[in-house]
A = this chain, B = another copy of it.
Amino acid sequence: MYNEKGDHSIQVCFSPLSWPLFEKEDALVIVTDIFRATTAICAALHNKVKAIIPVETIRESEHWKAKGYVSAGERDGVTLHGADFGNSPFNFMAPALQGKTIAMNTTNGTRAIKMAAAGNNLVVIGAFSNLSAVCAYAVRIRKEIIILCAGWKDRFSMEDSLFAGAATEKIIELGAGAFHTVCDSAIASAGLWQQAKDDPLTYIEKAAHRHRLKRLGLDDILEYSLTRDSTNVVPILKGDRLVAADHR
């Protein structure tokens, strides 16, 4: 979808449920699941983990674990039975994981990644931790851009939408006229980000998922997950796994 004012469109898809409305060929799709999958994936690849295999089912997790891979995973924020650890980004920072490949099972993230990959799209992983890096990469690639929010059980989620807004703003800034929003969800995301950017942690205090995390005792990751630009890594999907793009 081309816009009169710019070469390439930026669209934001608030939920995997809406993906069929956005689906296109040969686009660059930035998948985000801030709490917690995509923040964890960036942390892992920054820590020189070799690759992350996103998986959806417990059977898949068991398959990779039986083959000797490290297995991470959670469901509704609780570590999966049989997994080596849950999906907190902090779990992926251990030096012992360097060079390893990890099968990662997530509630919302994996399905979004797999959907995004259809149609010969280029799939990259976005989080606040790699915001500038992933946006610079997207601008350099110069395809149509869709930001796909993993959401929470197919619902709109505040933290993913704030990331979408931050990325929309950054891509427009870095793209210097080559990228423009063409849907209200991108405009709304950018508007919400304007409200939140000075203090995302306080802003997200209002959000529903933040309370779910708190109830589960998993809210130690909030500050880290909302901190921008702690890494330059850009995870990119190659075949069945996510690896660091060689872009520097």
Q: Taking beta carbons and an 8 Å cutoff, which residues of A are in contact with B?
A: 14-15, 17-18, 21, 152-158, 161, 182-185, 187-188, 191-192, 194-195, 206-209
Contacts and interface: CB of A to CB of B under 8 A. Distances in A.
Contacts of A18: 15, 17-18, 154-156
Chain A contact residues: helix, strand, loop or mixed: helix
B208 A155 contact: no
29 contacts: A17-B17, A17-B21, A18-B18, A18-B154, A18-B156, A21-B154, A21-B155, A155-B183, A155-B184, A156-B183, A156-B184, A156-B185, A156-B188, A158-B187, A158-B188, A161-B184, A161-B188, A182-B208, A183-B208, A184-B207, A184-B209, A187-B206, A187-B207, A187-B208, A188-B188, A188-B192, A191-B195, A194-B195, A195-B195
A115 to B, nearest CB: 15
Contacts of A182: 208
B184 A153 contact: no
